[in-house]
A and B are shown apart, each in its own frame.
Chain A
Amino acid sequence: MKPLGEDAEKEKKAASEIAGLLEMLGLDGEREIELEDVEIRANELVLLPSVLASTTLESIAPPVRLAPPRAKPTTILEAPFTPFLQEYPGQIREATLGATKSGGGSRGKAVVIGGAATPAFYLFEKTPLHPPIIAVDTFDMKVTLPRAIRMHVEEVWEDPAAWARMVVDKWGAEVLTVHLLSTDPLIKDTSPVEAAKTVEAVLQAVDVPLIVGGCGDPKKDAEVFTKVAEVAEGERVLLSSLTLDMDEAGVLEGVAKAAGEHGHLVLGFTALDLNRAKELNRKLYECVPPDHIIMDLTTAALGYGLEYSFTIHERARMAALMGDRELQHPVLAGTTNAWAAREAWMKLGSEYEPRRLRGPLWETLTALTLLMAGVDVFMMMHPAAIIHMKKIVQRLMTHSNVKLDKIANWVLQRYGEE
């Protein structure tokens, strides 16, 4: 599979090539093709569903009846539903985040993700093995945050350990991410040793599984992750993220090997391109076991390209279930990116207020959309969005308890009545 843009180009090219070719072939060529194809056509036509003439906006005349009028049925004609059966030869690998004492770490609980054997929440086929989880974002320094989030974290944002304790104790985080943003050479250039100390402090402060985020500079991240892998030996942290840029910079193998040696998981990040995601995975297989690899296929905010993320996740999951082993990994979405959309935080006029609801709803809907596309781990930030996502995940994991009466008569329901 190719990037979307490239495909469109190719299709366009192919189309004009076909057109050109046929023109070159001239009339005789056309006739030949015609004769060859007519037979196939006739066969196919029999199978095509008969379709009633569709109305258009301009002409809303009643459909022309071609057949003679039939007797109208007087009772319901039984046509029971038989579900179309779909087989999935593939399954998503399971991955374990965090390690307890018996697993060689110090976490209170390990969290297993992945294992999907059907598209997301196809409960009619199979109950999902593991619920998707939420990892709460924290940072190792003050960062620019929208006010709606800042107000919840500004008391702790100079102290990563306190921040970690708050999201675990107060918000009930099952997994947390500490982004080592200060390691950025263009920000504070915190050394790998210092950064690893932060990770140790967070591991001390809380006992949930940990995701460690870098700064985005491939060389620096590789150095930092290598050090972190060493000091967090056995804890099965998830290093976020490893990239093909690291490979270009010649540092991918080293950091992946460090992760493998010390028993950690790695997050492979690629930008909306499944070919590159597969290429990165192939490189990672050399250094870490396949069940230690999670994919980040890029998360764009609602209103800011979420549809591209949605579609790449649906494509990846479907390809994996249909047997593409290089895509059979759990996927992670950085849904805090939702706040990059101006509609999440900007003042837009009184009719769009209150922003205290609009912002977290934006984050929730960004996450919810990718939940429908099969995402297994969500990095999130606003407490209201986190709580609501958990609630929805729980509902979707459970076979419905349907209250038929109320819904059967919804048309008649008045507002505010029990």
Chain B
Amino acid sequence: MTEREIKEGVKKLSPIDVYMFLPRTNCKECGQPNCMAFAVKLVNKEVSLEECPPILTKEHETAYKKLQDVLAPVIKEITIGTGEWGVKIGGKLVMYRHEFAYHNPVALAFDVTDEMPLHPRFSEEEALIDRVKKVEAFSYNYIGRELNLDMIAVRSTSNDPATFKAAVENVAKITHLPLILCALDPNVMEAGLGAVQDRRPLIYAATKGNWRDMAELALMYNCPLTLFAPNDLDLLRSLSKTLIEYGVADLVLDPGTFPDEGQSGTINNFTLVRRNACKGGDELFGFPLLGTPITVWFGKNDSREVLAWEEACLASILTSRYADVLIMHSLDGWVLLPTAIWKFNIYTDPRKPVAVEPELKTFGNPNGLSPVMLTTNYALTYFTVESDLKKFGGDYYLLVADTEGISVESAVAGRYLTAESIAETVKKSGVAEKIQHKHLIIPGMAARLSGETEDELKNVGLPGWRVIVGPRDSSGIAKLLDEKWPPKEGGE
């Protein structure tokens, strides 16, 4: 990415633009060597303005406000929930990920209805408490990171204020997760809001018919408000203008999520709204987008599996196409896992290198008899292996070969990982001097290089080395070591 592209992505903001408003005393209180370095980091969103203590003083009040303006993202950042349980959505600086990076991963909300029983009365019945517990309990360890779900959406299918109020109360009692309250009748909404006065739920939703009452509720309870104008961007934009004028500052936009044949229209609308905000400077569309993959579930005869599959696809499309919060239904692990992983992936910083430093890494306290393994310096490969080794415990040497950030399989195919380069890596690492054996474990994906590698090791002055072919996936390392380590015939 060129410097120019980045600048356009962040409203042509240069570090100088920011520097001008900083105290320029180079006091280092922020931990940076000087104010210019802090400005560079601010523009790159690597630090927050509040990390500069002087700017928060009375003296710099005006400059602080200016900087808040200058640094404000094109898509407003909105918080749902409060305190440590609050979730931020929006806050995007750009339309396309490659223009900068995306911020605030799409929040995944899962629904319960106010007509669900608290507990299932027969097997497989959907029940309120069970579902909330399941959402809270979902956790997957992905390359050393914990992936979780974010919110509960309580829907009023009864359309009865007392029923909704009771359901919201029940949910609030058992979870700290932020809430979305879904009811289109303002009386029902008010009953629900009354049950969670201090939780700052997202209100879903203001429409053409109910917007005045919903606006009053949003102001009264200090909650963000969703504007729902299915397949009508004129109405969506008009509502946005009206509600801003009304004094509701925190808006979320829902142009409607249409399943099946409606999908092309859905992504068109999401794209048009986001593009107007990011490329056209349209402030009325400068708010987070809400998608509802849950709509695949209604009015169809298909099996649960088919509907869950459809929902996963729609959630994935909307995650790629600009949604900031999604309301879903399926709690099947095979749906949640790819959804949570893609959410995590697309919100990583594309400016971060794909590769890790090629070097000799140690795990635990390896000694002369510890296994020596080899992997590539593709970040994802490395982190996968690393997280497995940490999980297994034990003491290892891990050689990270320089494959220019290519995974094992592709590196072997593209000759970024060859017998010569493996031998060179072993030699250069100096690991041979640290150990008393002569065994190298290579990835299963590089199995075909094993014979050649033994020859090449000889050529670089490491005779007698043997290559052990490891598993194709590093999850199998523990099993391999159980079976083959220490090796039966010692290295000479």
Contacts and interface: CB of A to CB of B under 8 A. Distances in A.
Do A and B assemble together?
Answer: yes
Interface of A: 1, 3-5, 7-9, 11, 14-16, 18-19, 22-23, 30, 33-34, 37-38, 41, 44-45, 48-58, 60, 62-63, 65, 69-70, 72-74, 76-81, 83-84, 86, 121-124, 144, 184, 186-187, 215-218, 243, 245, 269, 271-272, 298, 300, 302-308, 310-311, 314-315, 318, 340, 342-343, 346, 348-349, 351-355, 357-358, 361-362, 364-365, 368-369, 372-373, 388, 392, 395-404, 406-415, 417-418
B208 A76 contact: yes
Interface in B432-491: 448-449, 452, 472-473, 475
Given A303-B345, A357-B334, A400-B266, A308 B98 contact: no
A11 B320 contact: no
Given A4-B354, A79-B242, A396-B263, 5 more contacts: A5-B355, A48-B69, A81-B237, A352-B333, A412-B155
Contacts of A245: 414-415
A369 B405 CA distance: 22
B163 interface: no
A55 B79 contact: yes
10 contacts: A11-B44, A11-B351, A37-B20, A50-B69, A86-B275, A303-B142, A315-B98, A342-B384, A372-B317, A411-B183
Contacts of B414: 216, 243, 245, 269, 271
B238 A78 contact: yes
Contacts of A7: 1, 351
Which are the 5 A-B pairs with shortest beta-carbon distances? Answer: A400-B265, A84-B280, A5-B353, A216-B413, A51-B72
Contacts of A50: 69, 283
B191 interface: no
> For A14, A243, A340, which residue has the most chain B Cβ atoms within 10 angstroms?
A340
B245 A77 contact: yes
B351 A302 contact: no
A84 B279 contact: yes
B268 A123 contact: yes
B40 interface: yes
B113 interface: yes
For this complex, into which size category does the number of interface residues on chain B fall? 35 or more
B264 A413 contact: no
Contacts, number: 362
B186 interface: no
B302 to A, nearest CB: 11
B410 interface: yes
Given A84-B282, A400-B261, A418 B353 contact: no
Contacts of A406: 295, 298-299
> For B40, B208, B305, B412, which residue has the most chain A Cβ atoms within 10 angstroms?
B40
B420 interface: no
Given A3-B354, A304-B380, A306-B342, A76 B242 contact: yes
B222 interface: yes
B410 A69 contact: no
A86 B278 CA distance: 12
Contacts of A399: 264-265
Given A1-B2, A4-B351, A77-B242, A404 B230 contact: yes
B76 A305 contact: no
Contacts of B118: none
A372 B271 CA distance: 11
B200 interface: yes
Contact of A365 (B272, B313, B409, B448): B313
Contacts of A407: 230-231, 256-258, 262, 295
Contact of A55 (B11, B78, B237): B78
A11 B348 CA distance: 18
Nearest to A409: B184
B333 A400 contact: no
Nearest to B340: A303
A311 B350 contact: yes
Contact of A5 (B115, B264, B298, B405): B405
A401 B410 contact: no
Given A53-B68, A72-B247, A412-B156, A365 B126 contact: no
B23 to A, nearest CB: 12
Contacts of B200: 60
Interface string B56-90: 00000000001011101010111100111010100
B338 A362 contact: yes
Interface stretch (B29-37, B367-375, B393-401): B29-37
A411 B76 contact: no
B241 interface: yes
Contacts of A77: 238, 241-242, 245
Contact of A41 (B17, B231, B412): B17
B431 interface: no
Contacts of B3: 11, 14
A404 B126 CA distance: 27
B105 interface: no
Nearest to B90: A54
Given A57-B79, A80-B234, A306 B345 contact: yes
Contact of B40 (A18, A60, A410, A412): A18
